[in-house]
Structure 1
Amino acid sequence: MTDDVSDEPRRAVGESPAGPSNWNVPNVLTVIRIILVPVYVALLFVAPTDFTWRLIATIVFVVAMLTDLADGHIARKYNLVTDFGKLWDPVADKALTGAAFIAISILGTDGLGAASRTLWIFTVIILVREWGITWVRAAIAKYGIMAANKGGKAKTLTQTFALILFSLNLAFLPGPLQVAAWILMWAALFLTVITGLDYLRHAWAIRQKGRTQES
């Protein structure tokens, strides 16, 4: 979910030429996050109209998101940057948010598919942007690294909180929280699109500069 935060290569100052071992805490947290993706989805579908199961699924989602915050912080603080982390951390993020958006779109706002068409519109636009920017980053890597933009953290937070509320099942939430859930979803969509366009602009500039230096 967090390409703007964790897609950035986790570099370490003073890292030895050989680099740290892949067997470290940040990488373990990344693997745990990957494992939690199917667990979260399975829990959502066990009994989608039962609040207890939806709450358990949401807790798993929150735990998975917390591992994302923790692994990046630990890797930077203790110089535990590895090629494994650079590759799989963003994959884990995209897998988690992608699975969450797809699952809630299938289940709808009541666990029975209601308003699923609307949710699918959000899901398709957001996931096309997320995976598209990941591809763009890889495609221009030979010209330079595309840094995170200022709206990235806000985009990540709005997506996360929107997914938490929708994972709980809006049918179980009071009116104000239902309104908040949709506001967050719209905000997530807006920020996702805006930051995506900004990334494309930045990517084009990096590519043009790189090609100019090559010629």
Structure 2
Amino acid sequence: MNIANKLTLFRVILIPFFLLSLYIIEAPYGNIIGVIIFIIASLTDFLDGHLARSRNLVTDFGKFMDPLADKLLVASALIYLVEVKELAAWIVIVIIGREFIISGVRLVAANKGIVIAAGWWGKIKTMITMIMIIVILCNFNFEGIVVIEQILIYASLLFTVISALDYITKNINIFKE
């Protein structure tokens, strides 16, 4: 197993620790620890992809597990934020719904022997969503933070929709018989 795949597995292993810190450790310490774990996990997302491409370490395992690890990490955080009433459920439904749609397109493509790489819009969406999660979890108490959080939430939604439309339009031909 190469270093990129180990980082992906490490990200998956961090998810329960991220959630446990939020649920078990009393605030604000649980949030602080959770944010640190989430940041580390998020950084491994960027690092494993960079290492895999730059060192020619791309594997089928990595192609499968890397996006799955991202979805698990982000979905876990988003669902937690709904539970603690920091994020509206409809926003999470849109973001997670996009992931189901893209996974479905990838599955159809894979059945036809086509591998679809992640696009830039999706990478931007992931980055903005991860930053949004971090800012909301930090629970800063200063004037203007609500505006910043709202900008990040709607930017995440905007890039979620843009990346989904981009992904579908670029790969619509896989649905043709």
Deviation at 1:154, TM superposition (A): 2.2
Aligned AA (2:10) = I
Q: Which has the larger Rg?
A: 1
Name the % identity: 38
Distance 1:149-1:24 versus aligned 2 partners, 3 A rule: closer
Q: Which has the higher contact order (CA 8 A, sep 6+)?
A: 1
Residue 142 of structure 2 corresponds to residue 174 of structure 1: yes
1:74 aligns with one of 51, 71, 76: 51
Say if 2:124 and 2:159, in contact at 8 Å, map to a contact too.
yes
Is the deviation greater in 56-65 or in 172-181?
A: 172-181
Deviation at 1:168, TM superposition (A): 1.6
Residue 34 of structure 2 corresponds to residue 27 of structure 1: no
1:122 aligns with one of 88, 91, 103: 91
Aligned AA (2:5) = N
1:82-103, CA deviations, whole angstroms, 9 ceiling, x for partnerless residues?
2221221111111001101101
What is the total number of aligned residue pairs between the two structures? Answer: 176
Distance 1:90-1:193 versus aligned 2 partners, 3 A rule: same
Question: What pairs with 1:115-154 in structure 2 (closer than 5 Å)?
Answer: 119-141=88-110, 142=112, 144-154=114-124
Deviation at 1:47, TM superposition (A): 4.3
Deviation at 1:175, TM superposition (A): 2.5
Say if 2:121 and 2:166, in contact at 8 Å, map to a contact too.
no
Question: What pairs with 1:53-202 in structure 2 (closer than 5 Å)?
Answer: 53-109=30-86, 119-141=88-110, 142=112, 144-169=114-139, 172-202=140-170
Can you give the 5+ residue segments of structure 2 that lack an aligned partner in the other structure? none
Aligned AA (1:37) = I
In 2: Cα distance, 1:36 partner to 1:176 partner? 31
Which is richer in helix? 2
- Normalised to the residue count of structure 1, the TM-score between the two structures is 0.75
Is the deviation greater in 77-86 or in 98-107?
A: 77-86
Say if 1:137 and 1:203, in contact at 8 Å, map to a contact too.
no
- Normalised to the residue count of structure 2, the TM-score between the two structures is 0.90
In 1: Cα distance, 2:94 partner to 2:147 partner? 21
In 2: Cα distance, 1:200 partner to 1:38 partner? 32
Q: Any idea what SS the aligned residue of 1:197 has?
A: helix
1:30-82, CA deviations, whole angstroms, 9 ceiling, x for partnerless residues?
1110011111111111246x222211100100000111111111112222222
Say if 2:108 and 2:174, in contact at 8 Å, map to a contact too.
no
In 2: Cα distance, 1:89 partner to 1:153 partner? 13
Please report the RMSD computed on the Cα atoms of aligned residues, expressed in angstroms: 1.8
> Would you identify which runs of 4 or more consecutive aligned residues in structure 1 move more than 6 Å?
none
Distance 1:85-1:149 versus aligned 2 partners, 3 A rule: closer
